[in-house]
Structure 1
Amino acid sequence: MALTLRRRGRPTKFQMASDGSMTLIDHIRELRNRLFIASLGLLVGIIVGFVLSDPVFHLLREPYCNLPSSITIVNGKEHCDFIQLGVGDGLILRLKIALWVGVIVGAPIWLYQLWAFIAPGLHRHERKWAYVFVSIAAPLFATGAVLAYEVVGHSLSFIMSAGVLGEPTKLEVGSYLNFVTSMLVLFGGAFEFPLILLMLNFAGVVTARRLLGWWRPVVFLSFAFAAIATPDPGPFGMTLLATCMVLLYLIAVGISFINDKRRGRGREIYADIDDDQISPLEDDRVPVGAADPIAAPSPVDGPTPVQRPLPLEGRFDDMT
């Protein structure tokens, strides 16, 4: 019974890391253990991705196979084939798909381990907002990836129709997979842009009025980023990505205005005063009267005599 009570009263590792009682060696050991568990989760996800690589590849090839220029007719049957240049390209392609799927499937494990290591260093309200932002970040990334999947078909249609090779056209499988995955990651990452602005606003770094004043640079940088980073040479993907970033920026500004109104920002004592307005000076002058009489100084006592110090032989023994 005593052993049970002692275990219940013992602080957890989270509490020890929060109050600073955990030593540096304990932090390093905890980091090692969490990295090991995260690696196991990623390894399990890769194994699952290796098993599911065939249906995932068939899903990724749908935008290409839906184009009429990608269909070849052999013995009266329609085929959608790719070109494989290297001997091991098929195996490398399966491993790449397994790695992507493994990162997604193992995300709950390695993200939890990362959060469990960082969370003790945050305050309670910081952990609360971190939960909110993470819960928003995942749907935003998924929305951007789904939109990119729809954009790939239109982009390929424009590329195939604008080319000079004619129909049918076969693509190299590695280049096509890199094109699709780059579009998915790019759109998903770009959709996290408003979260950065919201984090700055909720942290009190910038106000909503300041964010709204940045609309010209934001529009220009959105189109410049989309033009440079998008692997799609056509205008469809670039314009759609930049437009989505601008819309998300406006939504983030609207939420920032609501947050500022809730917190009462912009209602400071000098918020409604013009910068060029002169502040009034209060007339608090006090008339100077006659000086008070000064009392005579009191006499100062003389110094007391200082005793003569003892010789060294009398102050110290033979040990000191």
Structure 2
Amino acid sequence: MGSNPLRRDGSSRREKGRKRRWGRRHNPDGTMTLVEHLYELRYRLTVAFAALALASLVGFWWFENGPLGIPSLGKLLTDPYCSVPEPTRVQLGQGGCQLLGTAPLDAFMLRLKVAMSAGAVLSSPFWLYQLWSFITPGLYAKERKFALSFVGFATALFAAGAVLAYFVVAQGLLFLLGFGGQTVAIALTGDKYFGFMLGMLVVFGVSFELPLLVIMLNRLGVLTYDKLKRWRRGLIFGLFVFAAVATPGQDPFSMLALALALTALFELSVQVARLHDRRKARQRLAEGWDGLSDDEASPLQHEPEPIPEPEPVGNPEPSRTSPPQAKAAEPRRGGYDDVT
């Protein structure tokens, strides 16, 4: 009975010590056992999902409410559809701009879907930080600095692609719904429209990560500037094909906007690769590595220091306490040596 509180107290202390080891202050090299990695992963996932759930609740409330003069989330997402001329779309309710629902749970499920999507975006700094904190202990200082800039640029490019998609959606809907003319009026359901809208935002945002992929492959030595220059026409043609296939609406405005934006970003990444390869060539030339084959040894940067000549070592003096070796080596008298 007396040992149980001590055991529980000792285990709690070990748990606190294990949690303290996750921080960089107490564990700068990031060395942990497998069990500690699993505990940390569970903790990071719990915090990330808690942030996602809280942000989803905020998005669920924001769907119909506009705080601090900001338009509601539902209004922001339906503005591209509402910008289509009235004869092209069906008027519902009191003549306002509304989407169609065909089942009792459509409104709730649609609002929940949009709230979770908005929660993933709003909570992205929190779950990205948890992911970053879990990966960082296994990286060197230079790798951590490069990865941090990579994540920052990736976030900015994704946001730029989503903003472009938001303004392109209106022109795409106007083109697609205009085929009905005065004969056919389209009434979009909420599920179809928000699926189309979110698909456009995701496709444009992910596609805008192309320059980071090219720059990363160039820094790893997989894609050099010479290869990119030779493959430029084929790669640009592939970007247009990708835009034609990946765009959810399949309208020419969305495809052309995505293809032109990707081409501009690709050209920017090619120029960054050119500057990087030029800097590496100057470095190789300054260090004397230029023109060396793969089997040839690279020159040393500094002159090696000469190795001093070894000093002669004298014969060790015999120990006074050791028995004399001469007497031990003498043959025994009266033994086999006396037999002739």
TM bucket (normalised to shorter chain) is 0.7 to 0.9
Counterpart of 1:46? 56
Match of 1:261 among 250, 273, 278: 278
Is the 2:22–2:40 contact (alpha carbons within 8 Å) kept by the matching residues of 1? no
1:84 matched to 2:101: yes
- 1:237 aligns with 254
Q: Unaligned stretches of 5+ in structure 2?
A: 1-16, 65-71, 294-340
Which position in structure 1 is the counterpart of 2:45? 35
The superposition leaves residues 68-92 of structure 1 with CA deviations (integer Å, 9 ceiling, x where unpaired) of: 1236398xx7422222112111000
* Amino acid corresponding to residue 72 of structure 1 in structure 2: Q
Report matched runs for 1:55-74 at 5 Å.
55-68=72-85, 69-70=88-89, 72=91
Alignment deviations for residues 207-234 of structure 1 (CA, whole Å, 9 cap, x no partner)? 2222222213311221221111111122
Matches within 5 A, 1:102-251: 102-163=119-180, 166=183, 168-251=185-268
Q: 1:269 to 1:259 in 2, by over 3 A?
A: closer
Q: In 1, distance between residues paired with 2:96 and 2:23?
A: 59
Distance (Å, rounded) in 1 between the aligned partners of 2:155 and 2:233: 28
**1:270 matched residue in structure 2:** 291
* Whole-angstrom CA distance in 2 between matches of 1:161 and 1:41: 42
Q: Give the distance between the partners of 2:101 and 2:91, measured in 1 at CA.
A: 16
Quickly say closer, same or farther: Cα 1:73–1:21, change in 2 above 3 A: closer
The answer on whether the counterparts of 1:83 and 1:171 sit within 8 Å (CA) in structure 2 is yes
Give the secondary structure class of the aligned counterpart of 2:104: coil
Residues 16 and 22, structure 1, Cα contact 8 Å, conserved in 2:
no
Partner of 1:101: 118
For this pair of structures, how many residues does the alignment match? 263
Listed one character per residue, the Cα deviations across residues 294-320 of structure 1 (whole Å, up to 9, x for unaligned) are xxxxxxxxxxxxxxxxxxxxxxxxxxx
Deviation at 1:17, TM superposition (A): 6.5
In angstroms, what is the RMSD of aligned CA positions? 2.6
Checking the alignment, whether the CA contact within 8 Å between 1:144 and 1:189 is kept in structure 2 is yes
Equivalent residue letter for 1:28:
L
Q: Is the 1:83–1:172 Cα contact (8 Å) retained in structure 2?
A: yes
CA contact (8 A) 2:228 2:270 kept: yes
Q: Which runs of 5+ in 1 are unaligned?
A: 1-6, 274-320
Which secondary structure does the structure 1 equivalent of 2:101 belong to?
coil
